[in-house]
Chain A
Amino acid sequence: MKLINCPINGVRPVSEFVFGGELREMPDPDQCSDADWATYVHHRNGAPGLKKEWWYHAPSGTWFIAERNTMTEEIVRTYLFGQEEEK
């Protein structure tokens, strides 16, 4: 079972976490075209590589970002949303 380092609670088994999808930049809904919006909503890049993902530590209710290499299953680092630079 995989281990994940929650930025608040430390290393915990993956069974305590909920996957929250890839972190994606929302385009400005007032400015973007219908096609751009549809791409944002529906298209996912399945190519393996380093991804920024939302993960949720369920017992403590902590959302955070994990940078995960989907090819090697390695979690490179984790941090709270918006605190990427501080790491």
Chain B
Amino acid sequence: MSMRLPRSTGEWINRDKVIKFSFEGKDYTAFEGDTVSSALWAAGERALGRSFKYHRPRGVLSFANHDVNVMLTDGLDTNIRGDVVTIRDGQKFVAVNTDGGVRNDKNKYIDSISPLLPVGFYYKAFHTPRRMFPFWENIIRKAAGLGIVNFNFPRVTKRKLNRHCDLLVIGAGPAGLSAALVAAEAGLDVVVVDENQYAGGSLSYDRAGSGELATKLADLLSMVNRTPNIKLYTGAYAAGYYTDHLVPIVRADGITKVRAKSVIVASGAFEQPPVFRNNDLPGVMLGSAAQRMIHRYSTKPFDKGLVVTANDHGYRVALDLIEAGVKVLAVVDLRASGQNADLMSNVVRKGIAVHTGQCVYEAVPTEGKFGVKEAVVCPFDEATATVDTSKAVTIPCDGIAMSAGWAPAAALLYQAGTAMRYDYTVQQFVPAKLPAGVFAAGKVNGVFDLAQRVHDGARAANDVLRYLGKPAADVVVSEHAGAAPSHPYPVVPHPKAKNFVDFDEDLQLKDFINGAKEGFDNIELMKRFTTVGMGPSQGKHSNMNAIRILARIRGLPVEKIGTTTARPFFHPTPIGHLAGRGLHPHRLTPMHAWHEEAGAEFVEVGPWMRAAYYKKPGLSKAEIVQEEALAVRHAAGIIDGGSLGKFELQGPDASEFLNRFYTGIFSSQKIGETRYALMLDEAGVVVDDGVVSRLGLESFYVTVSTSNAAAVYREMQRCLQTWKLNVGLTNVTGAVGLINVAGPKARQIVAKTTSLDISDKAFPFGEIRETEVAGVPARIIRVGFVSDLAFEIHMAAGYARHVWDALLAAGKDEGLRPFGTDAQRLLRLEMGNHLVGHDTDGLTNPFEIGAEWAIKMAKGFFVGQRSLKIIAKRPLKKRLVPFVLDESYKGQMPQECNLVIEDGQIKGRTTSVSYSKSAGRVIGFAYVDPNQASPGSRFNIRTDSGVMVKATVVKAPFVSLQQGA
């Protein structure tokens, strides 16, 4: 039976285009623009889904995405909101959360055993005995889920856009559109967003049986469309409010991040259901839902039915229903008095009976609870919320429209930090103190009369103009007159319950009473215990009733109960909208392509990609690393060190700056000499180390570790500012390439590429030369990090690959082999060099790592010096020592960070552990008790499995040196 009404102006469907879809295996037709719910309802269907807990049949409640009665999947998207998602031709829908379909859900028996499942049942029933929990968990998880995730979901990258504007208006209803027009007229750049497919808000459905408002809306929209500085986005919701007016706008195809100078929240209000038995049957719907169905989708909500109301809006709903051809049997008004005389007489004039001081006590279901058979109407005492069932009257009907009140759609206002207060003239929370630049207008601001909402929008727009320092007018908005739009307590008790407050979570009135009895009588506790507002619609249709019920239970005024804050996002936002494009920029050295060709396995070091080792068929990673290290010990190795931080310092105060920044003395450093540089923080903690080379009287070249380069450079800049020294600092990290050639044959290899005399005598360890390598300008430093004979070659990054190739050619017959960072770590360990950040942590002082030699306390101020003076007075707590395991040791390999334990006490931990082929045993660094730090001391390491391993303190290095070879 078709419920479709004749064509009407302003409807949201295109009757010229018929589309096909299926629901639960049955084929249907719809008009373009139809939502799943509207098309099915028009086709005469009532049961569109099953509820979450009790598997009760559900139809339309809010018809506005304020509930999830109709939640579907098309096999691809998981939880489609049937009320608001428009159908694409050929889509096949099934309802989520059924076992065997909506009509024959095998889980429907749960509804009949619901008295056995009180609120908190799952918390209490299944936590003991523990061994049974996996069994129950399996069953509960199956029962609890909604849609099923399709793991073959295609990766669709949604676009992200940014937009700036003077004013963002959230909500394109009468208040929002009015605000936008006033602000735009004053020259502001305005963006308006509305989650609906079309603008208009209540003007598009709340018509009270008159065609007048359709014309008003058309006029308003044509004015908006003619205004070039208003950009209107529909089908777009403001997902959340973030600092400084950043509001992400979510649409089907992506997110637009709107950065506004000011925001007007004109988001309206959610209609709240009155609570009575079986208020969830298909055919029982909110008044605004019935109006949306009629005016947006030209669909009749039901044939003959009741309007149960507790405000004036119910009368407007009745007039719309009559206009749509519904036989309205009666208007049942919870209020004994206070009705709007005009609206009431309009209804009475149409021949409709109005029963004041009465309530719907229960809706009686048809077979299978797929619809309404009749309504039981009783006298209702507003003050006590009690019912006189002796005077019950039964009215046969197939639908009930409900209007009892509203809750402000204030999620974004709360997120922005708005203080709300309860206004008794409208029985609603309204903004009391708004944050700077955020404004509210319309129903969310407690303004309900249509003309006043338009004024309120203009008022808010002028407040915005004033806030932005522009001339503004004073707009007066009249106080609310007449009865409150919301009833203070539209809750009808029933001994057999099923009077629902939260439809997502199947929560009934008694669940709140029981929750409070169990002691969860604070709103936050009650929310978590009953799960009210924790379903997919996040309390949009349930939080206000929950607050009213809790207030009544505790005998407190509503404002003493408080509210919970709805966090972003306003509606669930697909992960695909949030996911980025995987844009993770890396810095590559000039030799990156070569490493790739050579089969390098890369590792991220800070922002850089570095070669960890070079893969070889048939060899494990550990074997390759040993091979690469052995090549350095026996012949020569070459490593790309381009990621090292490199800074140039120039100026008369350069040496003074370094004296203060590092622990060593640089004013006495000779030109051509390099010095170790240890960096502390103010607490005397070791934070970095590097090498300072003096190139001239006022010219220094500093290298620091890769991962700390940005932070060290930042700190250098800050110190330059505070110390006010005359130094020019340049970060040349990316501009300079770095190649290290190390091993006994390093000298012969490098010598082939440079005209410089690099004999030990002419170029001793620890010096720097500015020269040429392979015909290009380069600096060479004699370093000793991985081998005591090594040449670090620095040249412009553009020349680096050329020099790399030249060195490889020179080393071809000498056994030169590239090595990666893994071998480098082993090599430096074999050399007894600690790594800051690896062998030290956020509390390590230089005395603990034996770096006293690098600290020149007698010089003037340096960072960390004052703290070291204090630390030096205290006994040392631990000391980093090189250790070896016995050559014969075959047990479990100790790992880095295993504990050093003596007499059951933790004395320290291992920081570096590795097997060394050159040393023929396991070597490492560990923190031990200072009493056990001398060579020859034995200490215990506890391995992962708990076994104690004896280790011996030795003197570094672990390998014999070439002595300059």
Contacts and interface: CB of A to CB of B under 8 A. Distances in A.
Contacts of A34: 869-870
A2 B245 CA distance: 9
B867 A41 contact: yes
A82 B724 CA distance: 10
Contacts of B861: 29
Interface in B668-711: 682-683
Interface stretch (B348-356, B459-467, B713-721): B713-721
Nearest to B865: A29
Contacts of B721: 63, 80-82
A64 B724 CA distance: 14
A20 interface: yes
A20 B681 CA distance: 13
A79 interface: no
A32 B867 CA distance: 12
Secondary structure dominating the interface of B:
helix
A41 B682 contact: yes
A3 B164 CA distance: 13
Interface in B858-878: 861, 865-867, 869-870
A2 B713 CA distance: 25
Contacts of A1: 242-244, 246
B390 interface: no
B150 interface: no
Interface string A25-64: 0000100101001101110000000000010101001010
A2 B243 contact: yes
Contacts of B713: 61
B717 A63 contact: yes
B714 A18 contact: yes
A73 interface: yes
A59 B552 CA distance: 57
Contacts of A58: 714
Given A2-B244, A3-B244, A29-B861, A37 B718 contact: no
- Chain A interface size, as a band, is 20 to 34
Contacts of B384: none
B945 interface: no
- Chain B interface size, as a band, is 20 to 34
Interface in B633-689: 682-683
B722 interface: yes
Nearest to A73: B243
Given A54-B718, A56-B718, A61-B717, A37 B866 contact: yes
A20 B715 CA distance: 9
A42 to B, nearest CB: 7
B260 to A, nearest CB: 12
A73 to B, nearest CB: 6
A71 to B, nearest CB: 11
Contacts of A38: 870
B283 to A, nearest CB: 46
Contacts of A32: 866
Q: Pick from A20, A34, A41, A61 the residue with the most CB of B within 10 Å.
A: A41
A42 B843 CA distance: 12
Interface string B348-375: 0000000000000000000000000000
Interface string B238-254: 00001110100000000
Contacts of B869: 34
Contacts of A29: 861, 865-866
Nearest to A38: B870
Q: Pick from B244, B718, B867, B869 the residue with the most CB of A within 10 Å.
A: B244
Nearest to A27: B866
A3 B724 CA distance: 29
Contacts of B867: 37, 41
Nearest to B681: A41
Contact of A63 (B243, B682, B718, B870): B718
Interface string B830-870: 00000000000000000000000000000001000111011
A32 B866 CA distance: 10
Contacts of B682: 40-41
A41 B683 CA distance: 6
A38 to B, nearest CB: 7
Interface in B227-286: 242-244, 246, 259
A24 to B, nearest CB: 10
B435 to A, nearest CB: 9
Contacts of A82: 721, 724
A12 to B, nearest CB: 11
Contacts of B865: 29
A32 B243 CA distance: 41
A5 B360 CA distance: 60
Contacts of A18: 714
B757 to A, nearest CB: 40
A42 B683 CA distance: 8
Given A29-B865, A41-B683, A20 B244 contact: no
B343 to A, nearest CB: 45
A81 B717 CA distance: 12
Contacts of B683: 41-42
Contacts of B870: 34, 37-38
A83 to B, nearest CB: 11
A63 B714 CA distance: 9
Contacts of B718: 20, 54, 56, 63
Nearest to A63: B718
A32 B869 CA distance: 12
A2 B244 CA distance: 6
Interface in B46-83: none
Contacts of B242: 1
Nearest to B870: A34
Nearest to B435: A72
A20 B869 CA distance: 25
A78 B865 CA distance: 31
Nearest to B244: A3
Contacts of B724: 82
Nearest to B715: A20
B726 to A, nearest CB: 15
Contacts of A2: 243-244
B267 to A, nearest CB: 22
B724 to A, nearest CB: 8
Nearest to A20: B718
A16 to B, nearest CB: 13
A36 to B, nearest CB: 10
A18 B711 CA distance: 10
Nearest to B257: A1
A56 B714 contact: yes
A77 to B, nearest CB: 16
A32 B714 CA distance: 28
A70 to B, nearest CB: 13
A29 B865 CA distance: 9
A38 B861 CA distance: 17
Contacts of A80: 721
Interface string B866-909: 11011000000000000000000000000000000000000000
Given A1-B246, A41-B682, 15 more contacts: A1-B242, A1-B244, A20-B718, A32-B866, A37-B866, A38-B870, A41-B683, A41-B867, A56-B714, A56-B717, A56-B718, A58-B714, A61-B713, A63-B714, A81-B721
29 contacts: A1-B244, A1-B246, A2-B243, A3-B259, A20-B714, A29-B861, A29-B865, A29-B866, A32-B866, A34-B869, A34-B870, A37-B866, A37-B870, A40-B682, A41-B682, A41-B683, A41-B867, A54-B718, A56-B714, A56-B717, A56-B718, A58-B714, A61-B713, A61-B714, A61-B717, A63-B718, A73-B243, A81-B721, A82-B721
The 8 closest A-B pairs by CB, nearest first: A29-B866, A2-B243, A3-B244, A41-B683, A34-B870, A63-B718, A81-B721, A41-B682
Interface of B: 242-244, 246, 259, 682-683, 713-714, 717-718, 721-722, 724, 861, 865-867, 869-870
Interface of A: 1-3, 18, 20, 29, 32, 34, 37-38, 40-42, 54, 56, 58, 61, 63, 73, 80-82
